[in-house]
Structure formats: structure tokens, C-alpha cells
Structure 1
Amino acid sequence: MTQIATAGPCLPHQLLRAAGCHAGPLAFDHDRTPTRAEAFMESKFMPWAPLVLDHWLAGDYDHLDAVLFSRADDTSQRLFYYLSELRRTGRAGGPEPLIFDVAKIPRPTSAARTETKLRELAERLNVTAAALNDALTPAETSIPANDPVCLVTGTPAPDDRLNDAIRNAGFAPVAETLAQQWSEDAPCEPADDPFAALATALHALDSGPRAFADPAARMARRIAETQAQAVVVWRIEEDEAQTWQLPAERRALELSGVPHLVLTRRDWFGRDGAADEITALLKGLAR
């Protein structure tokens, strides 16, 4: 059976499930030293990319048939091209790199292109409209937390290490890890034309660095939705694309009146004491 893993946001997970080939988000070891990748990759990638490339060059993904990357994320897109060239020149093997050309510009031509690319992928995977409809599900309703909520925005974390610090301080984290971002479904219910419906949902999904949503407005909305009693904006050194949003986010935080902590230019692996700073904020609020 064909197995396709995912590596990026805004991907058509329902289509992969309808095809019976969804292998989940691409796994990698956060503590790995990417010595193989260093020969091919410069430093301006997000930190997960050299780890994935190192696993790939070591043959750790050879059990997969393909990996689906995303045009909605610069690092995902660039890594797709790196791997395609390395495989073309015989310097890498492994699964076939694929890219889903999801367009995020808020205009009809972008939505139409996304639909075209979705239909092309469906044809490649032999997914019918009926099969896709069976895989479509509406948005899940979140369950209210028993503990006070701490909302974390910014860069998706590599794992639960920040969430664990929040839980240990007596708060419920509302945050997104990288694997969760790479697994997020675009909310979409069954429709007469499920390909058009899913393409519209993917085009509108405000996940990923190339989304045209207003991050400050999205954060204010999430504060209201979650009734957050604390907010942490955590953004890593390499996440340069979102840095210019920070002034508007600061204004939104001040207007919300919610206690908050802004951590920028941080270490993705959490080796700079970010968890301790978050703990200090939350324990101070709990007194």
C-alpha cells in the first residue's frame, strides 16, 4: 500500500485518508546532529529542515513512497526543491518528494489554482468524489479546559516541552506543535462537489507563514475563544517572516488586558530558558 507522509501546513489530509495512504506528519529526532545535511544546506532554514534532510540522507524514510510538502511554507517548499535536485543527481534516494501547490492570496484565481492542484493530486491517487466526501468532517468543537488557559502563539514548537512547563504551572496550554500544524485539517463538510469545497477550505485556512490572515486579529480572536488568562508569544530566531507583525500583536495584547510574555529570537530547541520564563510568569499569576 502506498504511504505518503506530510511536511508542511495547509495540506489536503482528507484526500490522503480517502486514498488510504496517509502516513501522518514526517517524524524526526529533535536531538539529532544533522552532520549529513550540513554538506548541502545553508543555515537560513527553519531548524527542522536539516534534521529531516539528515534522516532522508540516512535512509530513514525509505519505507515511505512519497512525502508531500507545502507551498504555504517557505522552508517546506525550499526543502522540496533541495530533495528533488539531490535525488535527480543521485546524491539522495528515499521517497518521492511531492509538493501541494496551495495558493494563499485572497483572490479567485488563487482559489481556482488550489482546486486545480487538488484535483490533479486526487487523479494521481485515484480518489473519487464519493471517497473524498466520506473523509470530510466538520470542524471539531473544542472542549473547555478545567484549568486556566495559557495561549501560546508564534512559531509552532518542536514538541510538548513548552506545553509541559505550562501544565506544571497549573495552566492548560492552548498551543500548536509543528506536528499538529502539519496534521491540521481544513474544516470542510461533505458537499456536492467535495473537491471544490476542500480547495476553498484549504485556500481560506489561516495556518502557516504564507497565510494572509492578520496575526494580531487572529490572536485577539483566540484569546476571546479560549478565555485565556495568560498569553505567550514565542517566536524563534529563524522565524523572520513574522517579525514585522510584532508591534500589532503587542497592541492587541495591551488592549486585551491579559497578562502576557513576549519571547522573540528564541532557540527552537528550548535551550535558552524559555520554559523557565513561562513558568515564572504563570506561577506569579497563580499566587
Structure 2
Amino acid sequence: MGTPLERLLDHYEQRYPAASGEFVIGCVGQDVPVELVTAAGALPVRLAGRPGMDVTPGETYLGRGVDPSALSVLTRLLTGEYGRLDRLLVSRDCEASLRLFYAVRELRRLEPGLGLPETHLVDVLHLPHWTTTRYVGSRFAELVAVLERWTGTRLTAPRIASAIMLHDARRDLWRAVSALRRDLRLTGVQALAVFGAVLPVTEHNRLLRALLRSDLDVHTGRRIFLTGSSHDNPEVYRSLEELGSVVVGEDHDWGDLLATRLVGEPTLAALVERYQYNGPTAARASIAARAAHTAQAAADCGAELVLSYVRRNDDAPPWDFPAQKEALRPHGIPAVMFDRQDYGSIHLAEVFVG
């Protein structure tokens, strides 16, 4: 059976295809309310790209000027690498995700033989206005109807409440996992896998609790905090940690940012506000908000260095970096940016670790 950590790592490595016998809904972007997917009795599987693969099929439909992670996701959809996906939800969390949605929708219409799943766009806006709350609430009500049609399950208030509580419990457990990493009892690679393991939320929570009770090794190395582009795979983390560092935190939505905001009250209205105000990510928040969040999070992690990793064709993070660097000065934490990096790799021309 293995230790809880070994089992979570295995669930992460074997994310695709998902477990058989369940209605599987692929999810693109962190604005997809996975609570509603769970409430519908389906398994939400967040789709990641695969660095190093030939993305020519994706480029055929999206072009080359798109974030390469989105090209990889579309390519994997076209080649069937994800295994069974009954449906697909795409959030408008960034321009690349939106373009991927339109490409999948049009390909289903024009080339049905490709077998792409039926898809639906989850359009969440993040302005702090009551009119935005009403808009997002309408989109969530629309999604409820879509999920009911897809799964044949009625999303009653009790079902939604139960799913919200399960996912909030997982966010609390993720926070405890982050504390383990700050204590160097997990590496960054391990933490990213523990966050991203794909299994039903009830089983995920059980394994997370078992992990928190485990005896874990203590690691050593320079404490690095990652900002900039998100990381849907551990390759950059692995490169840094193989050189003697430990990634003790990050501010992207495949890692610590998953657990930053709870829903709280188990209602659809509270769920709407959780996603409206979730963040701050580079693509959705102000420069000032990003800088303040990064500086405080890095200080809380005891980071010795903040590294802004920016993927090719990801245009938002470089605008944040000057303000982030300035906000880190009072904490005495230096910052460095690696811009225009290839997807899944970091070109360490200067060895700053060790």
C-alpha cells in the first residue's frame, strides 16, 4: 500500500486516465467551482500540460503566440492522452484558457470525429462590485443547470452544502501541508503533488490527514519562494531542488493559492463570492495586490530568495516584478526574475543556489 505520501505521489503521477466507473469532468483553470462538480456526483480532474511534448496539433488551432501550457493541454485533448473525460469545463481565468475553450467548441462543431468532450465556459469576473457578484451568481446558476443536464443529478442545497464543506476541509488540510513544507518536512515537488493528486475529495482528505500524522524526513537547502507563472507540473521545482534548494512556498493557483480563501458558509451565494474574490493571481489582480501578497507570503515562509519564473508568452508576471521586488525590501528578501522560459524548464545561466 505504501505510506500516505507515497500513495499521494502515485495518485499525482497517475492522474490520467481518471478512475473508471465515475462521471469524469475535466477542468481547465482555477475558476471552475469544483464544489458544484462534486455535488453533481462527478469527479473533477484539473487538466495539466506535459512539458517536452510535440504541440504541433495544438499550434494548428491556437497558433504559436499562446501560453505553451494551453497548447499542451489542447494537444493532449486532441490525442486522447487524458483518457476518459465525459465533459469539459473551462474557466476564463486567462486569455489562453478562453482561446482553448473556443477552439474546443468549434472543433466539436466542425470535426466531431475528433471525439472532443462537450464543453462549457465558466466566466468568473473578479471586480469588487455587487454587480459583479450578481453576474457571477448568474453564471453559477447556469452551471448548475448544465451539470444537472450532464449528470442527471439534481444539485439541491444540501448536496451543494455538503460538497462545499468537503472542499473547505481539504483547503484546511492543504494549509497544514503548507506548514509541513515550511518546516522542511516536505519538498516543493512533494507538496505540489500532494496538492494536485486526483481522487475523490473524501479520499483525498483521508490521505491528507494520514500524511499529517506521518513521520517525515527533514530536508535542507536554500529556501526559495516562487512567483510569476503558474506550475501545472513539478519540473521547474525539481530543477531547483536538485541544485540544493527547497521551494517552501508559491503564489500560483496550483499550489498555496488553492487554499488561500475558504467558502465558509455552505451556500451557493457564499461559493459565488469565494470565486469572485479568490486570488490574487498575476492575470486577475492589481500589481499592488500581487506585490503585497507575495511579500507577506514569502516572509511567512522564511524565504531566503524570491524567484519570479515567467513562461514564454505569459505576459502578466513581468509587470508585477518591480513592485514585488520593492515590497520585499523591508523583509530583507532578495528577488530575481527568469523571463521567457520554456514550458517546464528553467535556464539557470547563473547558479544562485547552493
Q: Same fold (TM over 0.5)?
A: yes
TM-score tier after normalising by the smaller chain length: 0.7 to 0.9
- Are positions 1:129 and 2:166 aligned together? no
Aligned to 1:273: 347
Q: Which amino acid aligns with 2:179?
A: I
In percent, how many aligned pairs have the same letter?
Answer: 25
| 67 and 31 in structure 1: CA distance in 2 versus 1, 3 angstrom threshold | same
Aligned to 1:55: 76
| 207 and 9 in structure 1: CA distance in 2 versus 1, 3 angstrom threshold | farther
Aligned to 1:108: 130
- Provide structure 2 residue ranges, at least 5 long, that are not aligned to the other structure: 1-21, 148-153, 185-221
What is the number of residues matched between the two proteins?
277
Contact 1:28–1:51 (Cα < 8 Å) also in 2: yes
Contact 2:55–2:75 (Cα < 8 Å) also in 1: yes
* Per-residue deviation, residues 122-181 of structure 1 (Å, max 9, x unmatched): 233232211111122254234242336321001012421222244341434313677558
- Are positions 1:156 and 2:230 aligned together? yes
TM-score (norm 2): 0.70
Contact 2:257–2:279 (Cα < 8 Å) also in 1: no
Aligned to 1:146: 183
Q: CA deviation at 1:21?
A: 1.1
Q: Which amino acid aligns with 1:23?
A: P
- Are positions 1:187 and 2:209 aligned together? no
Matches within 5 A, 1:1-287: 1-61=22-82, 63-90=84-111, 92-125=114-147, 126-136=154-164, 137=168, 139-140=171-172, 141=175, 142-144=178-180, 145-147=182-184, 149-168=223-242, 169-175=244-250, 179-180=254-255, 186-191=261-266, 194-213=267-286, 214-270=289-345, 273-274=347-348, 277=350, 280-283=351-354
TM-score (norm 1): 0.85
> Structure 1 residues 2-11 or 196-205, which shifts more?
2-11
Q: Which amino acid aligns with 2:92?
A: R
Aligned partner of residue 353 in structure 2, secondary structure: helix
Q: Which amino acid aligns with 1:119?
A: A
Q: CA deviation at 1:42?
A: 1.1
- Provide structure 1 residue ranges, at least 5 long, that are not aligned to the other structure: none
Higher relative contact order (CA 8 A, sep 6+): 1
Q: CA deviation at 1:210?
A: 3.6
Q: Which amino acid aligns with 2:33?
A: P
Aligned partner of residue 56 in structure 2, secondary structure: coil
Compute the RMSD of aligned alpha carbons.
2.6
Give the number of the structure whose residues are more often helix, by fraction.
Answer: 2
Q: Which amino acid aligns with 1:261?
A: V
